[in-house]
Amino acid sequence: MKKPKEELIQYKWKMSPKDRLNGKFVDTTDLLDLHNKLKRKKLKVVFTAGSWDLLHVGQMRYLEKAKEEGDILVVGVNSNESIRKVKGKNKPILDETIRAEALTYLRSIDYVTLIPTTSCQPILGLLKPDVYVTVGEEWNKEFGNSKEYKTVKDYGGKVKIIDRQSPYISTTSIVERIIGANMGDLFKKYMKVRKRPLKEK
């Protein structure tokens, strides 16, 4: 089995040094150094991960709750490619750089890193957060059997499950609402047009 750093070493995020995302971005290959730096300062590190596509209030509440678990919150952002492998070619809606930058403006977040793989297990192996926060949903109910859970427990970390903070709002529901509204307008236009016979102008 490849060691976490070996799995990530080839993936260097191409980002203009323009901002390095407000000074909050950390390359995956620098996560071990970040771990050592924060441990020397005796800071409690929390990590969570997700797509963060079309950031909404439920996600912001979730991140605030995650930050309450420690001193430093590091957030993983799934790369475009890793999302496509799981959710299909039509996702994500926003590019990884945009999704990552949006997170840096939230007061609860101290560092952001990109997750190039479909699992955040390699990231956990490098950062070794004191607390790994994940969302409590139906798809995640067997989380106790996952390699992420086992990795955290093996190094003595804690896993915290936080429920979805806005059950009725999600990226999918937002997209469906937008499409639904536009489809209604298009349908009305279609019904108006079809009443008139087609003719050459």
Q: Does residue 141 have a pLDDT over 70?
A: no
Where do the domains of the chain lie? 4-167
Q: Write out pLDDT tens, residues 26-37.
A: 999 999 999 999
Q: Does residue 169 have a pLDDT over 80?
A: no
- Its CATH architecture, for the domain 4-167, is 3-Layer(aba) Sandwich (3.40)
Q: 34-48, 78-92, 155-169, 178-192: which has the minimum mean pLDDT?
A: 178-192
Q: Write out pLDDT tens, residues 110-123.
A: 999 999 999 999 99
Q: Which residues contact 52 (CB under 8 A, 6 or more apart)?
A: 59, 75, 77, 99, 100, 102, 103
Assign 3 a pLDDT band (cuts: 50, 70, 90). low
